[in-house]
Amino acid sequence: MFKTLRTYVPVLDWGRSYSREAFQGDLIAAVIVTIMLIPQSLAYAMLAGLPPEAGIYASILPIILYAIFGTSRALAVGPVAVVSLMTAAAVGQVAEQGTAGYAIAALTLAVMSGLILLGMGLLKLGFLANFLSHPVIAGFITASGILIAASQLKHILGVSASGHTLPEILGSLARHLGEVNAITLLIGVSATAFLFWVRKGMKPLLLARGVPPKLADVAQKAGPVAAVVVTTLAVWALGLSDRGVSIVGAVPQSLPPLTLPGFDYELITALFVPALLISVIGFVESISVAQTLAAKKRQRIDPNQELIGLGAANLGAGFTGGYPVTGGFARSVVNYDAGAETPAAGAYTAVGLAIAALALTPLIYFLPTATLAATIIVAVMSLVDLSILKTSWGYSKADFAAVTATILLTLGFGVETGVSAGVSLSILLHLYKTSKPHVAEVGLVPGTQHFRNIHRHDVETDPAILTIRIDESLYFPNARFLEDYVLDRVSADCPIKHVVLMCSAVNVIDMSALEALEALNQRLKDMGITLHLSEVKGPVTDRLIKTHFLDDLTGSVFLSQYDAWVALSRPKAAE
């Protein structure tokens, strides 16, 4: 009973061996991540079209719930750029930004996402993430990064542009160029340049000046806070808000409130598909980060339990004034590098953010939105990786086509269309690749019992024996392909008397493939050719035994391909 409980509540496992050393590492990591998250949470809330406090609220209880139910020791959960953009796109279709309905829709989206993730975890559907092609997801994230950066240019310029696609955003910006606020532009460009320099140049400079590495690292992570402090003081001291500089304004000085999502049927129906897409993309991003960091310390991540942890986090966000959350790459890497030993680091971060929500929110009244936009732009530019186009072009034209289509659809039609296309293309790409499995005609390597491709190696063959090695499981998309391949081959070669299907790489034969094999067996029989199988795996054999296929098979099932060669080759027949 307790073992089962520990499986679903991992804190009961790692919490029993929590040490003073782990506490020190977690506390230091929490301080650094908290410093990083304060401006980032505000910025991502703005990206989602929500009040700035929603970003902080979404970073408190969700982190605590993930610490209880998650399995990653370093994953930092909260608002992230891509999910924030998807939230804005989804909620913007059902409510107008700035209204109570918009906030309720965001809460509803978080709860729905949490329920979907929780359900997938309890049903152990974590494997579904494997159906999403990495190149396609990389293409979607790259396009999203470009969209996010473009959407923030209006805050850098100080204009009231709009749009959810790249053509809409750029067109709107062009129409409002005459309204650019010079002071806002100066703040935005300066903050962006400073933050880019902080990311690349501050730490090397500090190290060259003799600053200890750990202190230099903390200073680098605190760069966005410095930008916030300096620009806020400048706006306050110079009265720039009276000169057209947009500011954050009043932020409630309180802990996350208890909130309820909407229960309207039409709202739930309208948000179901976006919630599903946000859940899938959020899970893929989160599990990728978690597994990468866990591998560095030889730790194990349970994908199904991760679904439960992320589901709980999203439910927490939905009931405490937040919006959908997931594991963030940047903050998780910072958490790991800062020395986080257990998920407790996330809980300590939540405490730090709660203190900030109570004590620091009055201080950001004069924070310019241009600074938050600069924070977002610098953060998301690390997501943009156009090199995936070159890599996929050189490696696989099919992958290149899928990546290009995902990027163009996301930029041209918005994130919902882009992610839907990405998921569909991932599945279609898998079906396309497996619909034409690699098959090779093989022969015996002289002096051995090994068989290799006749077009790649100097091998022995027998004109009367056609041996086909199948390098893929046989199921409905490719069953007919194999049948056609074999029949085309034997029709052009009269001496063939035996066909041997070498099944060493076949893990599954489904009903469609079984019917294709039965048809192939009969047609070869009509042509006077015997069909044999070799190196059939145990589980596949077990399933074939339950059918009449092996009874009807005109030939034999050989333990190894060499046994088939010895039994069927002409020298053996001559003896």
Q: Is the pLDDT of residue 572 over 70?
A: no
Domain co-membership, 457 together with 392? no
Query: Which of 412, 468, 331 shows the shortest CA–CA distance to 41?
Result: 331
Query: Are 481 and 390 found together in one domain?
Result: no
Strand order in the sheet with 465-470: 451-453, 439-444, 465-470, 498-502, 530-534, 557-558
State the Cα–Cα distance between residues 173 and 157, nearest whole angstrom: 9
Residues 222-274 pLDDT 10s: 778 889 899 999 999 999 999 989 998 888 888 899 999 998 999 999 999 99
199 DSSP 8-state letter: I
Verify that 142 and 282 share a domain, yes or no. yes
Same domain, 417 and 474: no
Q: Which amino acid is at 34?
A: T
Pairwise pLDDT comparison (15 vs 500), residue with the higher score: 500
For the chain, what is the mean pLDDT?
A: 87
Same-domain check for residues 134 and 273: yes
Q: How many domains does the chain have?
A: 2
Residue in the block written with tokens 């301080």: 31
The answer on pLDDT for 361 being more than 60 is yes
How confident is residue 573, by pLDDT bands cut at 50, 70 and 90?
A: very low
Residues 383 and 464 in one domain: no
Same domain, 105 and 211: yes
Q: Is residue 566 part of a domain?
A: yes
SS3 204: helix
Could you identify the residue written with the tokens 């046994």? 563
**217, 199 contact by CB (below 8 A):** no
Is the model's pLDDT at 383 over the cut of 90?
no
Confidence of residue 299 (pLDDT cuts 50, 70, 90): confident
Residue numbers of the domain that contains 110: 2-12+19-429
**Domain-embedded: residue 455:** yes
- Of 429, 450, 479, the position where a domain reaches its end is 429
β-strand 439-444 against 451-453: which pairing, if any? antiparallel
Q: Which of 454, 427, 524 is nearest to 485 (CA)?
A: 524
Neighbours of 243 (CB within 10 A): 12
Asked whether residue 233 is domain-assigned, the answer is: yes
Q: Within a domain: residue 402?
A: yes
434: in domain: no
Tally of helices (H runs) and strands (E runs) in the chain: 28, 8
| 405 and 455 belong to one structural domain | no
Q: What is the mean pLDDT of residues 528-556?
A: 94
Does residue 379 contact residue 40 with C-beta atoms inside 8 Å? yes
* pLDDT for 571: 53
Domain boundary among 374, 406, 429: 429
Q: 313-351, pLDDT tens digit by residue?
A: 999 999 999 999 998 877 787 788 777 888 888 889 999
- Identify whether 400 is part of a domain: yes
- Average confidence (pLDDT) over 437-447: 91
Same domain, yes or no: 271 and 378: yes
Please state, in angstroms and rounded to a whole number, the distance separating the CA atoms of residues 523 and 297.
Answer: 56
CB 567 within 8 A of CB 556: yes
Residues 369 and 282 occupy one common structural domain: yes
Is residue 313 domain-resident? yes
Phi then psi for residue 509, to 5 deg, are -130, 110
Separation of CA 285 from chain center: 3
How many whole angstroms separate alpha carbon 252 and alpha carbon 270? 30
* CB distance 85 to 72 below 8 Å: no
pLDDT bin (cut points 50, 70, 90) of residue 379 is confident
Q: Do 312 and 66 contact (CB within 8 A), yes or no?
A: yes
Pick from 129, 112, 152, 395: nearest CA to 264:
112
More confident residue, 173 or 1: 173
User: What is the greatest pairwise CA distance in the chain?
Assistant: 104
- Specify the 3-state DSSP secondary structure of 283: helix
CA atoms within 13 A on the CB side of 188: 24
Alpha helices in 381-510 (DSSP H): 387-395, 397-413, 415-435, 479-491
Q: Confidence band (pLDDT; 50, 70, 90) for 563?
A: very high
Give 77's strand partners.
327
153 and 291 share a domain? yes
Token representation of residue 549: 């296929």
Q: How confident is the model at residue 33 (pLDDT cuts 50, 70, 90)?
A: confident
Kindly state whether residues 365 and 493 are assigned to the same domain: no
The CATH number covering residue 496 comes to 3.30.750.24
Show the CA angle centred on residue 482, arms to residues 130 and 493, nearest 5°. 150
Residue 292 belongs to some domain of the structure: yes
Of 429, 455, 478, which residue sits at a domain end? Answer: 429
